[in-house]
Amino acid sequence: MAGNNDNENAAPDPLTVEQVLRRCSPAELGFETTTDVEPLPGVLGQSRALKALEFGSRMDGDGCNIYVLGTPGSQRHEVVSHFLQQESRGKPRPDDWCYIYNFSAPQKPKGIALPSGKGIQLKQDMHQLIVKNTAMLFDALFLYARFGPARAPRRQPA
């Protein structure tokens, strides 16, 4: 047990500027600008976060998520994206999941599993369908109701 020294609980002496400041000449660095320096591999100072990301990404099962927290500008999105790209190399690509409106139960959308890459194709095809048929839908819904079938102008499908 330590003795009862009055200095034991005293605050340490503050450091001087000379104790905390290290000056160096730019000539000592060995490069002109930082663009001349090769970037260091990996993420500096985040070994614990990377271990957690590695552990979480290797969890096999449904319902597992990884929550990443960091200050703005900490490049957490880039770090996680890069890590997951490296981790997924050589592994089969997962299905695309698309959720569509359920007319019989609007609060419960229907999920459709599509082969990887086909989800974006479905989105583009649906957009084209809507764009091409907007004019025909307008005619069918509004002009027909206003003028009746005999006088409503007819458009050809695009």
Note whether 97 and 113 are within 8 A (CB): yes
Determine if residue 141 is left, alpha or beta; phi over 0 gives left, psi from -120 to 50 gives alpha, anything else beta.
alpha
Residue 156 lies in a domain: yes
Determine if residue 53 is left, alpha or beta; phi over 0 gives left, psi from -120 to 50 gives alpha, anything else beta.
alpha
What is the tens place of the pLDDT at every residue in 10-52? 899 999 998 999 888 888 888 989 899 988 777 777 888 889 9
Residue 146 lies in a domain: yes
Residue 21 lies in a domain: no
User: Domain residues for 123?
Assistant: 116-158
Residue 154 lies in a domain: yes
Q: pLDDT at residue 133 above 80?
A: yes
User: For residue 74, what pLDDT is reported?
Assistant: 83
Residue 16 lies in a domain: no
**Poorest-pLDDT segment among 46-55, 63-72, 139-148:** 139-148
Which tokens is 54 given?
A: 């590695």
Q: pLDDT at residue 158 above 60?
A: no
**Poorest-pLDDT segment among 3-17, 40-54, 60-74, 114-128:** 3-17
Domain count, the chain: 1
